Amino acid sequence: MSTSPPAALWPHLHALGQIAQSGSFTLAAQRLGLSKAAVSQRIAELERAVGVPLLARTTRSVRLTEAGKRLVDETTASFASIEQSLANVRDLATRPQGLVRLTAPVALGRQHVAPQLQGFLAAWPGIRIELELSDRLVNLAHEGFDLAVRHTSRPPDSHVAWRLCASRTLLVATPSYLRRHGTPAAPAELAAHDCLPYLRPGPAVWPFEQVTAHGAEPARVSVTVGGPLRANNSEVLREAVLAGLGIGLLPDFSAAAALKSGRLRELLPGWRPVGFFGDAVYLLRPWSPQVPRAVRALVDHLRAELGGGFGA
């Protein structure tokens, strides 16, 4: 057993906590700014110091032993307090500074989030941003993200949520497609058209409810559709619709510019697609007692720039 002084092992304990949170040596190394080998060495030194194994490793996974779990449970709160204290002191600076890690869906991020970052970074030279575009539901706390942009109808209760703007799902086609194939007058007629569904498991079913006067019970109908292309990205589907391949259901942030220019037409205005994409765009943050000033500055900027919606 090693006789290293306890203070010399603090970085090693922090590395163990990062592995516990992320479930991976690779992710822990990324979050710590170290190589995977350096993290492995710290864990080996920590295990020699305490005299018991702290991690059980296989070729596919890593998990805490009982001793490792106890050590993490008893030190996590202390490291969280240290991180918060450092953030509080950093925020005493005259201007916000530091790194903000942001994740957003691919299409929404490319079209509307990324273009807003150039002006923000010019206004706040002390802030750096790492933007990851991904359509998977990222675990913010485990993967070290400060903020997530989410297109959803129900933000999770476990996170702080700022609503950016409302969002609509639109049924659209090109004028040329409608000249060739006719314009559907009711949802049931979509079954006879070439439709371009979002790629999801099972048959492609498009649900609609009728737009009614306030308080009236709307009629609901679901239509099974098909066509030459399915894809899991709204930009791909938008380009296919613009090429005249068929009718598409698109989020307003992907369709707005083409609708405004007349390249696309909205169909079935008396019916509303339901349960397909989210009805709002939110910024999410893992809960914490205080929000770093750099994060708060980015939240305020995105709320100001995207708060007006997408104009569709």
What is the number of structural domains in the chain? 3
C-alpha span between 159 and 141 (Å, rounded): 10
Residue 182 zone, left/alpha/beta (φ > 0; ψ -120 to 50; rest): left
Classify residue 257: in a domain, yes or no. yes
Q: Which two tokens stand for residue 272?
A: 């509303």
- Regarding whether 213 and 263 lie in a shared domain, the answer is yes
CATH of the domain at 192: 3.40.190.290
Work out whether the CA dihedral 145, 29, 83, 50 comes out positive or negative: positive
145 phi, psi to nearest 5 deg? -90, 145
The pLDDT tens digits for 33-92 are 889 899 889 988 888 888 889 888 877 778 889 988 898 888 887 877 777 677 667 666
What is the CATH number for 156?
3.40.190.10
Mean pLDDT value of segment 292-301 = 92
Q: Is pLDDT above 60 for 3?
A: no
Give the pLDDT band (50/70/90) at residue 115.
Answer: very high
Beta carbons within 10 angstroms of residue 268's beta carbon? 20
| Residue 49 confidence (pLDDT) | 87
> Locate tokens 């409302």: which residue?
166
Q: How far apart are CA 305 and CA 228, in angstroms?
A: 37
For the stretch 145-191, pLDDT in tens is 999 999 998 888 888 899 999 999 999 999 999 999 999 999 999 99
CA distance 285 to 55: 30
Angle at 41 between CA 38 and CA 43, to 5 degrees: 115
Q: Which of 31, 64, 90 is the last residue of a domain?
A: 90
| Model pLDDT, residue 216 | 75
- Average pLDDT (93-114) is 89
Name, in order, each residue with C-beta under 8 angstroms of 84's C-beta and a sequence gap of 6 or more: 288, 289, 290
Instruction: Indicate the SS3 state at residue 156.
Output: coil
State mean pLDDT over 97-102: 92
Q: Can you tell me the distance from the alpha carbon of 42 to that of 13, in angstroms, rounded to the nearest whole number?
A: 9
Average pLDDT, the chain: 89
Q: Are residues 208 and 133 in the same domain?
A: no
Largest CA-CA distance found in the chain, in angstroms, rounded: 82
In the DSSP assignment, the letter for residue 219 is: P
Residue 205: the pLDDT is 95
CATH number for the domain that contains residue 37:
1.10.10.10
In a domain, 135, yes or no: yes
Please enumerate in sequence order all residues whose Cβ is within 8 A of that of 114, keeping only pairs 6 or more positions apart, or say none. 131, 133
Rounded CA separation 308/2 (Å): 61
Residue 312 lies in a domain: no
| Burial per residue of 33-58, b for 16 or more beta-carbon CB atoms within 10 angstroms, e otherwise | ebeeeebbebbebbbebbeeebbeee
Output the pLDDT for position 85. Answer: 73
Q: How confident is the model at residue 270 (pLDDT cuts 50, 70, 90)?
A: very high
Q: Are residues 146 and 177 in the same domain?
A: no
Element (H, E) at 100: strand 98-104
Q: Is residue 1 part of a domain?
A: no
CA distance 238 to 264: 9
CA dist 187 and 202 (Å) reads: 20
Is pLDDT of 221 > 90?
A: yes
pLDDT confidence tier of residue 288, bands split at 50, 70 and 90: confident
Q: Do residues 43 and 12 touch, judged by C-beta distance below 8 A?
A: yes
Q: Domain check: are 209 and 293 in the same one?
A: no
The Cα–Cα gap between 116 and 108 comes to 12
Domain range holding 148? 98-167+279-306
Query: 242 or 68: whose pLDDT is higher?
Result: 242
Amino acid at 21: Q
